[in-house]
Amino acid sequence: MGEARQHHFVSQCYLKGFTRDGNKDTAFCALDVKSGRVFFPKPAAVAKERDFNFIEGLPAGELERRLSGFEGRVAQALELIVTERSLINEDAHLHLLNFAALLAVRNPRNREMMNRSLLHSYRVILDLALSSREMWESHFERAKAAGYMEGLPELSYEQIKQANQKNPIVEVKDSITAHIRREFEIFDEILPFFVARRWLLCLAGPQSEGFITCDHPVGLMWNDQVPRAVRPPPGYQHKNATVLFPVSREMLAVGTFEGDNGVRTLSTFQVAYFNGLICAHAQRHIYAADAGFSVLVGNNAQPISSDELARFVTERRAIQTALVSETL
């Protein structure tokens, strides 16, 4: 029997915590943030990508098997945290932080960003190499001596420069293996900043429909209200940045360097506020136990329902599409 090719980048053991009964075989509500479509899949049907964990040179499914052992321990940690409604158990707390750090770096959005960065670098290098005949011939001779030009047609400097001006490099991607290697390097770099934070466990109040999550569940944001256009996005090492991580539909972890540890129960309005922040980090899907969740988004003074959010998403998408069309 062949190995499964669809790999989850957000684990089912985590997503099941956002179903109504905490069971991975129970369907929950999903909102497509690109189309506004609401549907009801099971956790196994979402947050996955073909060959996401494939590593060249290892047996098929090897990384999947190794991660499954870790995810089994994470599942136990999540169950303990939900049952005790606290982060006081050190082992469970550390497993939660390791899991959150992995989710923060191992996702399609980050891979797409790395691919865009790689493409930009190649374009800059090629433009620099073609900036003069002397520069190009110097690079060409070194590449030829290294054997990189074997089997390729011989083109003049003018032909290559003209071709680059007409059709610049349109796509360059790192291999999945290269992405995975870099992701675990970044994980090692950022994990200490997760552990060093103080973590407040926020509980959804009894009148609330609970917290939601998304396909990019670890949120990172500046603590102050300085406009985003004024400075770059925060990093996990920044002292005045907050990390948000929905643990389950009942609780949300908030990590800061200068805040409080402990547990706090939130009002319905506060839960909706944090749900709005979680929505802002979604790449494709938002997940909730059912369609009864509420969020605080945009310029709304009061929380809106999931139906209103779906309309909000659809209308915003239509406006963005219209603006793009007007500029073409």
**pLDDT tens digit string along 122-169?**
888 888 888 898 988 888 888 888 887 787 777 888 888 888 888 776
Packing angle of the helix pair 176-195, 108-129 (nearest 10 deg): 120
Residues of the chain with pLDDT under 50: 1, 323-328
- Using the CB atoms, write b or e for 182-206: b if 16+ within 10 Å: ebeebbeebbebbeebebbbbbbee
The side-by-side arrangement of strands in the sheet containing 251-256 is 219-222, 241-248, 251-256, 198-204, 262-266
* 121: in domain: no
* 167: in domain: no
The token pair that represents 322 in the structure block: 């219209």
User: What radius of gyration do the chain's Cα atoms show?
Assistant: 23
Contact 254, 231 (CB under 8 A): no
* 22: in domain: yes
Task: Count how many domains the chain has.
Answer: 1
Q: Nearest CA to 241 among 214, 215, 219?
A: 219
* 67: in domain: yes
Give the separation between CA 9 and CA 117, rounded to whole angstroms: 21
This prediction has a pTM of 0.87
* 122: in domain: no
* 314: in domain: yes
- The 3-state DSSP class for residue 200 equals strand
* 305: in domain: yes
Whole-number Cα distances in Å, 91 to 13, 15, 97: 17, 21, 10
Per the structure, the complete domain to which residue 261 belongs is given by 6-111+174-327
Q: Nearest CA to 306 among 36, 44, 69, 112?
A: 36
Q: Among all chains, which residue has been given the structure tokens 């907050």?
A: 242
* Residue 121 confidence (pLDDT): 86
* Residue 27 confidence (pLDDT): 97
* 124: in domain: no
Whole-number Cα distances in Å, 111 to 57, 115, 165: 20, 6, 27
Contact 286, 212 (CB under 8 A): yes
Q: Nearest CA to 220 among 263, 248, 257?
A: 257
E strand spans, 191-300? 198-204, 213-214, 219-222, 241-248, 251-256, 262-266, 285-288, 294-295
